[in-house]
Copies of this chain bind each other. A is one copy, B any other.
Amino acid sequence: MDSAHPSPDGPQPWTTLDRRHGDSLVLFRPRWDTLVHPRSHEPFERLVLEAPDWVNVVAVTSGGELVLVRQYRFGSATVTTEIPSGVVDPGEDHADTARRELREETGYTARRWTYLGHVDPNPAFLDNLCHQWLAEDAVLTDGQDLDPGEDIEVLTRSPEEVRDWVRDGRIDNALVLTALARVLDLRRGTS
């Protein structure tokens, strides 16, 4: 028996009775599902935001520094420090999205690419994944290629500095942290 499924009477998938879409929210397509609770058999309406997959990139320069981006974020209303990231275009392979976003946001190109895996940004209401890539031997080869609605500053820092910025909360974007946790030890009080 799969040890992640320790009890045969554990949570079961719910049956979907109905699906109804709301008006597009540009980044998302809201969907209202009517689902049946598998034990009480009562119906419940739940909101799902349909979204394309995302990617983010841990890029390491040939000098061993991490490539970071700073930009004003409209949800938090703050200038954040993050790693390069973006949305997978329709029909695009997320490996290509990773290369494209690194180049467009920072001008860096990397020779060695390794897939780190995915995380689920929020399984409670989002239906998408965030794919995470490690880009090594990254070199500055181009200028930035930003959308008119972007304003992004590029910087590089040592892994130790990045770890310190995570620990003091200067880097606090959850998706960024999950990618960094695959390559840095982010525990409190360890060196």
Contacts and interface: CB of A to CB of B under 8 A. Distances in A.
Interface of A: 3-7, 10-14, 22, 25-27, 30, 33, 35, 37-40, 42, 44, 46-49, 70-81, 116-127, 130, 148-149, 151-153, 155, 161, 165, 169-170, 172-175, 177-178, 181-188, 190
Contact of A186 (B70, B76, B182): B182
A123 B178 contact: no
Contacts of A81: 4
Count the copies.
2
Nearest to A6: B155
A182 B178 CA distance: 11
Given A151-B11, A172-B120, A125 B185 contact: no
Contacts of A38: 72, 151
Best-buried of A5, A80, A122 by chain B (most CB within 10 Å): A122
